[in-house]
Structures are given as C-alpha cells and as structure tokens.
Amino acid sequence: MNVNGSAVIKKNDTVIVTIEDMSENGEGIGKSEGYTLFVKDTVIGDRAEVKIIKAKKTYGYGRIQRLLEPSPWRTEPLCPAAAPCGGCQLQAMSYDQQLKFKEKKVRDHLERLGGFQSPPVLPVIGMKDPWHYRNKAQYPVTTDRKGEIVMGFYAGRTHSVIQTPHCYIGQPVNDRVLAAVKAYMETCGVAPYDEASHKGLVRHVLIRRAAATGQVMVCLIINGKRLPAAEQLTERLLEIEGMTSISYNINREKTNVILGEQVVNLYGPGYITDQIGDVSFRISAQSFFQVNPVQTKVLYEKALEYAGLQGEETVWDLYCGAGTISLFLARKARQVYGVEIVPQAVDNARENARINGIENVEFYTGKAEELMPELYRNRRLRADVVVVDPPRKGCAQSLLDTVIAMAPERMVYVSCNSATLARDLRYLCDRGFRLEEAQPVDMFPMTVGVEVVALLSKGEIDSKKVSYIC
C-alpha cells in the first residue's frame, strides 16, 4: 500500500480485476486493492487477469490478458474487427445491458455534472433490430505497410485505419461502393492521402443511403483541386443499385475536419431524398441529418410531444440543420423559425419546406449564439417554444441567456452529449427553468453514444442572473 491506502501498482504488473462499471468511452472499470483500473474490451461482470500498461497515482489502464469468468451480459461480437476498431465500443455487451448502461450514463451526468437530485430520466428507448442502422459512413483512406489501399475506420484513439470488410452497423451497399472506389483508384493510379506528409489525393469516402427511397450518395473528399479520370469512377459507381448522387469535396487543409467547403458534382442532382414519417427531406453531402432513420422518427415525435403545440405558437428551432425538426414542428405551430450555420444545409431546409408545401417556416443562416442575441436586441423576438439541437459542445452562454430573456413557455433540448446537456440544463434551471423530463433514445446501438431529448418549463425568470442579454 502507498501512503493514501491505495495499492502500489506499477506498469507491467498483472492483477485480477472484477469489472464493476464502464466508462463513458466503453472501457470496463474495476479495482485492485482500492486502485482504479480502466480495461478495454471488458464488460460489467467480467473477472479478468489484467496487465497494467499505464499507471498513474490513483488510477491506471490495463489490457486484458485472460478472461477468468465472463460476465452474464457478455456476448460474442458479430464483427471480427470490433475490438481494434474504434467504432463499436459495446458489441461485446448484450443489447438490453447496453440500454441500462446508457440510462445510467445520462442519469449520472445529470446528478454529478448538473447537480440534479433524482433527475426525471426515463428508460432508454431502444431498437428492435440494432444492426445496419446507420445511413451515413465516412471511411478514411490510406495505405498499409505493403502499399495496399486500405479503407475502414480508425482504431480507438488513433488515426490508424482498421480494414473493415463489412460494417455491421452500416449499410450493406457500403461494401460495393468501397470496392468500386478502390478498383478505380488502383486502375487510374489515384493515391490515397497521407496525413504525415500531406500528400496523396483521396482522404475519405462519404456514403449516404436513404432508408425510405433506397437512393445512394457517394462523395470523395480529396486533397486537390480536381479528381482525375472522374468519368471512370462514375461509370463504376453507376453499376450499384440506387446510385443517385456522385460528387467530390475539396479539402486541402491540414486538419482533422473531414469536409471542405466546395463540392463538385459529377452525377445526379447533388442530393438524395429521404423521409421521416410523411415529411420528405433532400440531403446534400454537407447536410446534417440524423444517422439512424428509425430512431430519428422516435426522437422527433418525442420532441414534438414535449413542444406541446396547439397551432398558435411561435417556435424557434436552433441548430436546425436541413430543417428536419423544424418541418415536424411547423405542421403543428403557427410559425417556425430555424437557425443554422451551414449555408448548404439552410438551402436544403428551404427546399425541404418547398417540396413538402410547408409555408409557415423561415430559415436564417448564421451562428445561433451570435445571430439570436442580435435578433433579440434589434427585434425583441418572442417565442412560445424554443428547440435546440446543438453539436456535442452544447450551447454557448450567449444563446442560453437569449433563450432565458425570451422566456418561452417550454424549451425542448435535444442532445447528443449528456455531459454538456447536464451543464446547460443546470445553467437554465438556475435561472428560472424547471426540468420536467429527460427521454434517452438509443440512436447509436453498439456504441457508447446516446441521444437525449429533455423538456423544460418556464418558472419565474430571474433577469438579474442573465449575464449577456440584460
């Protein structure tokens, strides 16, 4: 023992650990004589022999050497690359236990980070069939040690690409697309991108498939101004059923951001069309669109339920993407306003409203955290309901202060990161809102991700606490 009573554990030691919990990244968590260990490829209930690969003062990281007693919730992953690939962290855990893990994750965040006592978190809504659900994939392209072209996914916490012959959460058509792109690259001498040297051409292959229509989109992200022999790529891809849109996207920056700003169309209209319920959506390569169409309908119906619309409300939908939630809300509201930073997504949103014959919706292009405070100051906006669906970093304080000043009767917060959700809900509830309910929805089976839609109602707004607007 050390002076703090924890075990003295060093790198390369071997210990026996029973996994009692899991981290947000899907690592098993266990203790050896009071010393906390994070162990990849284990699940709650496993008892394992673990080798220490990194030891810090109060915690460390281990690699499983031998599984002594498997957890009752352990299952054999379908994908042979599940362990090294960074995409599916939970394939070794039974699906019902995955849902319990995700509910606990949301609840823990609201309690620990948000300071909510006994938060009103409902059980996670899961899927009947949690496989092949993703309608979008972005495959990095590189070469292996033999110089062969490799397309797959990054290994966990690295940029080493794991060759993935078939992804069990992606669309089956992806296999044919990747084979066609690889054959084109080999035949035409098109080199993959190399991150270290910033040389080579093809960085990623983006594939989308619309669940309702079967339409397929392919977009190659390239480190150059043009794609050589593009007609040969197009010819190969058109042999695939459902191929509707073929393009390339120019990204010549030294960055981890996948998409650049310019898209060059090679074939088709530049978009595919999908449906959620009875609403149609046109989706471009740069549009945000939820990756799980089955659960998106569940999520949006819950958001609509929480909005409590009666037909006379003014609604603001912030971070609206291609207008998916906006158009759902517009069917029940008097007027909906959407705000989105990506111009192409706003173009899609306006077109989506047109093709669905929805006229009581208006879209603004800009950063919500900048545009909303400006509109409020200059026009004194009002809102009966505010809906936010921010990126993982959550909402900026300036945006939250604007919402507080607008004092809507209800706020619906859709989140893909329950940690920043907890932070933002705490800020709102300290300034007059009340958390009524939080519904997790499993949009991302086999991964640690979980979407949450939360309902807040307006209490007494304390304007003295609004630090930005007032």
**Longest distance between any two alpha carbons in the chain, whole Å:** 71
Report CA-CA distances (Å) from 427 to 106, 463, 466: 17, 13, 10
Calpha distance 272→265 (Å, rounded): 13
Half-sphere exposure of 282 (CA within 13 A, CB side): 19
To the query of whether residue 416 is one of the catalytic residues in this protein, the response is yes
DSSP 464: G
Calpha distance 68→122 (Å, rounded): 35
Q: Which of 219, 395, 416, 429 is catalytic?
A: 416
Report CA-CA distances (Å) from 105 to 31, 98, 122, 127, 448: 20, 10, 12, 18, 9
DSSP 54: E
Calpha distance 308→314 (Å, rounded): 12
Q: Which residues, in sequence order, are CB contacts of 136 under 8 Å at separation 6+? A: 206, 207, 208, 209, 289, 291
Q: Is the distance from CB of 93 to CB of 442 less than 8 angstroms?
A: no
Q: Residue holding tokens 């111009």?
A: 343
Q: Which residues, in sequence order, are CB contacts of 214 under 8 Å at separation 6+? A: 241, 242
Question: Looking at the annotation, which residues are catalytic?
Answer: 416
